[in-house]
Chain A
Amino acid sequence: MRTTLAVFQREFGAYFASPLAAIFIVIFLVLVGAFTFFLGGFFERGQADLQTFFSFHPWLYLVLVPALGMRLWAEERKAGTIELLMTLPVRTWELVLGKFLAGWAFAGLVLALTFPMWLTVNHLGRPDNGVILASYIGSWLMAGVLLSLAACLSALTKNQVIAFILAAAGGFVLMLAGIDVVLGFLRPWASTAVVDFVATLSVLTHFQQITRGVIEATTLVFYLGLIATCLFANTALIEREKAK
């Protein structure tokens, strides 16, 4: 745990050591605001809730979360610091976990900085704050899934751009698994069980349920399970790829 904490602190600090943190925060807040108010018609709807606000999160994450995850391992491999890190007497999963948690905490921080939205909607009406809280948690979990995927894929390459593209593409697949285009492609040849399984993999469908106020144990298990799977794969991949 000591190792994970040390890695967490170093990685969390690393976001702020470059302009990345500032740029990320500004872009996320500007985009999420613009989408909510202009595309989503926040005022026109005349409802005191944050549904429109949350509905854009998956699409923003698709592009922005890979930017958080791409450096986690690709940069270590490129700079050669991985040789330093992985010849210290530590367990690989402790490093993997520390790095992931740092990125996730950063995503949480950015999400928390959208609090003026919550203030606004509470000023304008009487929203269901339980649903809003659940949506925030769901949004953060979804960011976690995409981040763990990005971290895992960044272990495959020394090139951060490649890591970014892999993560964005992977996230896209994970996101769209539940929509009809993908399922329609599977139906003609895959068994119903497979189609149903793929449908349940959709990060998006689970998230939409949460923003409607339905938060189920299976959803939590699903998200946390995906994160755990990605981190497990990350550990195995970096062990295999580190010295290449």
Chain B
Amino acid sequence: MAMIEVDALSRRFRDVQAVDEVSFSVERGEVVGFLGPNGAGKSTTMKMITGFLEPSGGTARVEGFDVRSHRRAVQARIGYLPEGAPAYGDMSVGAFLEFVGRLRGLDGARRRERIGEMVHRLHLADVYGRRIETLSKGFKRRVGIAQALLHDPDVLILDEPTDGLDPNQKFEMRELIRAIAGEKAIVVSTHILEEVEAVCTRAIIIARGRVLADATPTDLLSHAGIAQAIEVTVAADAHDRARDLIAQVAHVRTVETIGAVNGLARLRVVGDGGRQIVTAVGAVLHAHDLPVEDLRMERGRLDAVFRQITQR
């Protein structure tokens, strides 16, 4: 049985169909990236799964419990970080976690143990006694995660956990998600694509309330037809020669110049065969004594896939 089953979930707001028959399921051990432009219906879907918002149609089940008929049973099994990690600014970190723990029904000893664990794991010891409103964004987000993980749920729903964080904090957040993944079912919404590649085992792309793609990040990339591209940087004066040489390498389909600055020219090589091309291109340039400044597999092209899919 899937940990999360979303079944034709729909939500209308007056005349706007915010979520339109969204269906997917998440198994234990999966980290699903919920991707989409702003206003695509990501948050609305998450609010319905967590029982905050009533669906207009369809339903969601968590560990077999239907959110429409067993809301609290579902909520007890989910750890949820709402968008923007809201928390009571006038409370200290400790008092806030204590409060959430009590509402989660954790008894005294268990509560202390779990709060201790969260404080240790999310490095909250230094800010434990501080009011949440005085904390930096990164710490506030960590408090939000601590709150979501407090009862050690098997299902975790995180709405834009890295939004507004600086690069170091983003890195930490991803490390954390990776660390807790394993035995849980996790849904992470984001509009940052690198994040999906960094932590997700699967990506669901949603736009205008509909699911447009549901596949592993690698599969999504291979559909794009540009996954096999490599990028070569050579000196600008050797540019024409390099181009001709590369064009003759086996499996290369096209070579195009994508830029020339500071005396260096960049070429994009597209072909079949992936890594072999990198090796072959490197070898042919080396054999003809053309200095290669940089040579790499092109990556981070998920945004192209995303554009392609969401603007179709």
Contact = CB atoms under 8 A, between A and B. Distances in A.
A45 interface: no
Given A17-B91, A243-B53, A83 B82 contact: yes
Contacts of A90: 72, 103
Interface of B: 47, 50-54, 72-73, 75-76, 78, 80, 82-84, 86-91, 95, 99-100, 102-105, 131, 147
Interface residues of A, number: 23
A84 B80 CA distance: 8
A86 interface: yes
Contact of B86 (A18, A80, A88): A80
A10 interface: yes
29 contacts: A3-B102, A10-B88, A10-B99, A13-B91, A14-B88, A14-B91, A17-B91, A17-B131, A18-B90, A79-B86, A79-B88, A79-B89, A80-B83, A80-B84, A80-B86, A83-B52, A84-B86, A84-B87, A87-B50, A87-B51, A87-B75, A87-B78, A87-B80, A89-B75, A89-B76, A90-B72, A90-B103, A242-B52, A243-B52
A39 to B, nearest CB: 36
B99 A86 contact: no
Interface string A213-239: 000000000000000000000000000
Nearest to B104: A88
B87 A17 contact: no
A17 B102 CA distance: 20
B88 A88 contact: no
A6 B86 contact: no
A81 interface: yes
Contact of B52 (A3, A18, A86, A89): A86
4 residue pairs, one from A and one from B, having the closest CB atoms: A80-B86, A17-B90, A89-B76, A6-B102
Contacts of A2: 102, 105
Given A17-B91, A83-B47, A243-B53, A88 B100 contact: yes
Interface residues of chain A: helix, strand, loop or mixed (majority): helix
A81 B91 CA distance: 12
A91 interface: yes
Contact of B47 (A6, A7, A17, A243): A243
Nearest to A90: B103
B88 A87 contact: no
Nearest to B147: A84
Nearest to B86: A80
A87 B99 contact: no
A37 to B, nearest CB: 36
A90 B99 CA distance: 13
A88 B80 CA distance: 9
Contact of B88 (A3, A81, A242): A81
B99 to A, nearest CB: 5
A95 to B, nearest CB: 9
Interface in A1-49: 2-3, 6-7, 10, 13-14, 17-18
Given A10-B95, A14-B90, A88-B75, 16 more contacts: A7-B103, A14-B91, A17-B131, A79-B86, A80-B84, A84-B87, A84-B100, A87-B52, A87-B78, A87-B82, A88-B103, A89-B75, A89-B103, A90-B103, A242-B52, A243-B52
Contacts of A79: 86, 88-89
Contact of B72 (A13, A14, A85, A91): A91
Nearest to A243: B53
A6 B104 CA distance: 11
A81 B88 CA distance: 7
Contacts of B131: 17
A239 B103 CA distance: 18
Interface string A80-123: 11011111111100000000000000000000000000000000
Nearest to B77: A89
Contacts of A243: 47, 52-54
Contacts of A91: 72
